[in-house]
């Protein structure tokens, strides 16, 4: 324990000394010669209990003074149990995530012949990109998971932690809003394996042994792995660590989905207890996040660390109780000092 305002002790000592001097100066002595021998006889001395109000007052003032010094515990630890999970969202930031969501080629008609560049710019401005639609679905998912610790990992050529696991979902949503195509400027590949590996590492670093069975990774991607580690090998590591991995294919094109490498990845996700969701539209993205929300429930045990926890109430409450007791005792005739 330490005190944030130790300098106040000198003012308190000065105040106590001044009060003592004033009391000593105003004190009046009364004695009678005929009874002087009785005063020195032990059986005629006043009971020690007569000093109880004064002793209680002194102890109360010491406790109140200690509270005024603002005592704190430099370090404290608390355990929090909630009905939630540790979830890491792994978000693909490859260059293809900047393409329009629900993009369909316009039919060939006579009107297309007069379709100007200005009209094309307006159409692109109105339609959301895959990244924008995915961010909206992720934010809705985070708002629904009120009792979870959620972290965010982004990946392209490499993987990066944007937010560690946190209960502060407002903070997390602000960081999701900041994610754009410029955050990984100069990169454009799709390192799914690296994104999963970093998600596993983040869960391992922040999860206690009691919460190891309540870990989930939700992967959002629109392409196949073309950089970094092999994702199937990383999925084996996830399964060994009791981490479930769900994958949401963001407008994943049919020719990519049919590739053997992608099919093996989807089979591995299902084999290790995860689910794959095909999201071709913004509505599909929201439906996928809602389904994952309904699937994943559990009990999360985490430790909350606090620094400089105030404990002034440990001194202030007993001090005020003793102060009131000292005034109450002075109302009893037995404790009234007439000298």
Closest residue by Cα to residue 183 from 248, 91, 121: 91
What pLDDT score was predicted for residue 218?
92
Quote the strand ranges of 194-257, DSSP E. 215-221, 243-250
Structural domains in the chain, CATH included, are: 2-70+312-335 (no CATH), 79-101+110-304 (3.40.50.410)
Residue 105's contacts (CB-CB under 8 Å, 6 or more residues apart) are: none
How many whole angstroms separate alpha carbon 183 and alpha carbon 169? 21
Mean pLDDT of 16-28: 70
Is the CA virtual torsion 160, 162, 164, 169 positive or negative? negative
pLDDT in tens, 124-139: 445 788 899 999 999 9
Q: What integer best gives the mean pLDDT of the chain? A: 78
* 306 vs 69, higher pLDDT: 69
DSSP tag of 209? G
What pLDDT score was predicted for residue 54?
75
Measured CA distances, 220 to 25, 236, 274, 305 (Å)? 82, 19, 13, 32
Q: Can you name the residues that pair with 71 across neighbouring β-strands?
A: 3
pLDDT in tens, 68-124: 877 777 665 555 555 578 899 999 998 888 888 765 444 444 444 444 554 445 444
Mean pLDDT of 33-60: 64
How many whole angstroms separate alpha carbon 7 and alpha carbon 251? 65
What pLDDT score was predicted for residue 96?
86
Q: Is the pLDDT of residue 213 over 90?
A: no
Name which of 12-26, 127-141, 232-246 the model is least confident about: 12-26
Residue 326's contacts (CB-CB under 8 Å, 6 or more residues apart) are: 53, 54, 56, 57, 60
Closest residue by Cα to residue 217 from 207, 230, 229: 207
The answer to whether the pTM exceeds 0.75 is no
How many whole angstroms separate alpha carbon 72 and alpha carbon 302? 23
Phi-psi region of 280 (alpha: psi -120 to 50; beta: other; left: phi over 0): alpha
């Amino acid at each position: 324990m330490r005190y944030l305002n130790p300098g106040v002790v000198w003012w308190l000592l000065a105040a106590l000394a001044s009060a003592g001097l004033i009391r000593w100066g105003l004190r009046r002595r009364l004695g009678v010669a005929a009874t002087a021998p009785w005063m020195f006889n032990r059986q005629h001395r006043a009971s020690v209990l007569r000093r109880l109000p004064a002793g209680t007052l002194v102890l109360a003032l010491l406790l109140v003074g200690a509270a005024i010094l603002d005592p704190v515990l430099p370090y404290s630890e608390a355990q929090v149990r909630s009905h939630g999970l540790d979830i890491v969202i792994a978000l693909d930031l490859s260059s293809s995530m900047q393409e329009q969501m629900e993009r369909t080629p316009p039919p060939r008609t006579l009107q297309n012949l007069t379709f100007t560049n200005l009209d094309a710019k307006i159409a692109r401005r109105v339609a959301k990109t895959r990244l924008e639609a995915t961010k909206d679905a992720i934010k809705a998912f985070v708002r629904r998971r009120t009792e979870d610790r959620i972290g965010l990992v982004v990946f392209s050529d490499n993987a990066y932690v944007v937010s560690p696991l946190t209960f502060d979902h407002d903070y997390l949503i602000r960081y999701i809003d900041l994610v754009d195509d410029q955050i990984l400027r100069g990169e454009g590949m799709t390192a799914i394996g690296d994104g999963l590996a970093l998600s596993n590492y983040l869960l391992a670093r922040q999860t206690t042994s009691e919460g190891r069975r309540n870990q989930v990774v939700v992967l959002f991607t629109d392409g196949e792995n073309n950089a970094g580690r092999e994702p199937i090998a990383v999925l084996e590591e996830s399964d060994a660590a009791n981490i479930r991995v769900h994958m949401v294919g963001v407008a994943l094109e049919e020719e990519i989905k049919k590739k053997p490498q992608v099919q093996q990845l989807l089979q591995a996700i299902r084999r290790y207890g995860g689910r794959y969701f095909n999201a071709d539209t913004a509505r599909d993205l929201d439906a996928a996040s809602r389904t994952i929300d309904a699937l994943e429930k559990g009990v999360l045990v985490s430790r909350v660390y606090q620094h400089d926890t105030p404990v002034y109430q440990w001194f202030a409450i007993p001090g005020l109780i003793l102060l009131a007791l000292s005034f109450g005792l002075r109302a009893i005739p037995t404790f009234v000092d007439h000298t």
